[in-house]
Amino acid sequence: MSIIQGIPDPGPGLRLHLNEHTGGCSPRVLEAIRSLDATALSFYPDYKPVVLETAAFLGVDPDQVLLLNGLDEGIFLTATALFGSRMPNVGNAVVPLPAFETYLTACGAVAARVVTVPPGPDLTFPIDGVIRAIDHSTKLVFVNNPNNPSGRLVPRADIRRVVEANPTAVVFVDEAYWEYGGESFLDELPKYPNVIIGRTFSKAYGMAGIRAGVMVAHPRLLERIRPIVPLFNLNVAAVAAVRAALQDQAFVAESVAQANESKALLYAALDRLGLRYWKSATNFVLVDGGDRAREIIDGLWAKQIFFRDRTKDQWCPNCFRITTGVVAHTRQAIAALEELCAAR
């Protein structure tokens, strides 16, 4: 049994398996981190400026913002607040599949009863199944928009139906990849006090190593979560990085443009190779490798080009996921993929 935390580093190569920004972060972020002196590192961070700036950027009040040590922390905090040891051990959490694994991990950590809902045809959001799963005892529903691993968007009307199905249930709308798809439920937040919007700086901002995220919700909903947030959950380097990142939206726009160009290149290559895929509103593409899946995944890893193996997921068997960000890296992956398939 491994005692190493996290996902093991595969070593030197092209990291297209974790949806990271393989081109790095904004130069402004590096400059902000490098400007920190010894005193700044020895004191606990002051969160007021970054909270105010994040709220202004999102167009919400500061009391609607909760900064996080990665969006994963927000998922765990929400599950703990709703199902933790001080809460009655009743109720359920609804998780549409396929899902970001952390939803299930967080609910399992607090012994929440999880109701999973299989995906709709062609990995569409299973709206009717989700509505059937929500009942008077539902405390939490996850909506991943766009979805990981399919990359598909959830129609806004479907999100509304989920939110309105049980107004006492918290609906966690995970928008980790929203910059790429351009669809957000944030503008509807004033109408729905039971909704949490989750965002991250790991993807389009290229700051996965910083571990910074944010939840946005009605102040009364966040009041249920704030008491269990670690006192200084976001470190001083992350605070500096977030403040700098928010000031460089040109970097984000370029990240999105590169991802869009990369996806177009990859779609064309997959069409040539006869491999099925799902068009994506994210910075990755899910591919059905069919009977070639194992050969492709292992072959590319041998070439030190790392795709994410999804073959053990019953809802997308024979599938692998490819990060599509920096165009040069996508071209490199396509060349290797075509060479491998041609040699078959």
As a whole number of angstroms, the distance between CA 240 and CA 50 comes to: 8
- The torsion angle over the Cα atoms of residues 307, 308, 312 and 317, rounded to 10 degrees, is -60
The tens place of each residue's pLDDT in the chain, 344 residues long, gives 456 777 778 888 899 999 999 999 999 999 999 999 999 999 999 999 999 999 999 999 999 999 999 999 999 999 999 998 666 667 899 999 999 999 999 999 999 999 999 999 999 999 999 999 999 999 999 999 999 999 999 999 999 999 999 999 999 999 999 999 999 999 999 999 999 999 999 999 999 999 999 999 999 999 999 999 999 999 999 999 999 999 999 999 999 999 999 999 999 999 999 999 999 999 999 999 999 999 999 999 999 999 999 999 999 999 999 999 999 999 999 999 999 888 66
- Domain membership flag for residue 9: no
As a whole number of angstroms, the distance between CA 285 and CA 269 comes to: 12
Same structural domain, 240 and 254: no
**Looking at residue 44, what DSSP letter applies?**
P
As a whole number of angstroms, the distance between CA 146 and CA 153 comes to: 4
**Domain harbouring 31, CATH code:** 3.40.640.10
Q: 205 is in which domain, residue-wise?
A: 27-246
Same structural domain, 175 and 323: no
As a whole number of angstroms, the distance between CA 228 and CA 182 comes to: 32
Number of domains in the chain: 2
Could you tell me the pTM of the whole model?
0.95
Same structural domain, 158 and 265: no
Strand stretches in the chain, DSSP E:
14-16, 65-68, 92-96, 113-117, 138-144, 170-174, 195-200, 213-217, 276-277, 284-288, 305-309, 319-323
pLDDT, position 223? 97
pLDDT, position 87? 64
Same structural domain, 184 and 225: yes
Same structural domain, 107 and 162: yes
**Looking at residue 224, what DSSP letter applies?**
T
- Decide if 127 contacts 158 (C-beta within 8 A): yes
- Domain membership flag for residue 218: yes
Same structural domain, 42 and 111: yes
**Domain harbouring 300, CATH code:** 3.90.1150.10
Same structural domain, 227 and 292: no
**Among candidates 197, 224, 202, which has minimal Cα distance to 213?**
202
- Domain membership flag for residue 304: yes
Same structural domain, 255 and 213: no
Same structural domain, 148 and 174: yes
- Mark which of 246, 264, 296 sits at the end of a domain: 246
Using DSSP, state whether 286 is helix, strand or coil: strand
- Decide if 149 contacts 120 (C-beta within 8 A): no
Antiparallel, parallel or unpaired: β 138-144 and 92-96: parallel
**Among candidates 68, 43, 73, which has minimal Cα distance to 54?**
68
pLDDT, position 86? 66
Q: Match 């998780």 to its residue by tokens.
A: 95
- Distance of CA 298 to CAs 31, 166, 200, 302, 331, Å? 39, 45, 31, 6, 19
pLDDT, position 341? 87
Same structural domain, 234 and 258: no
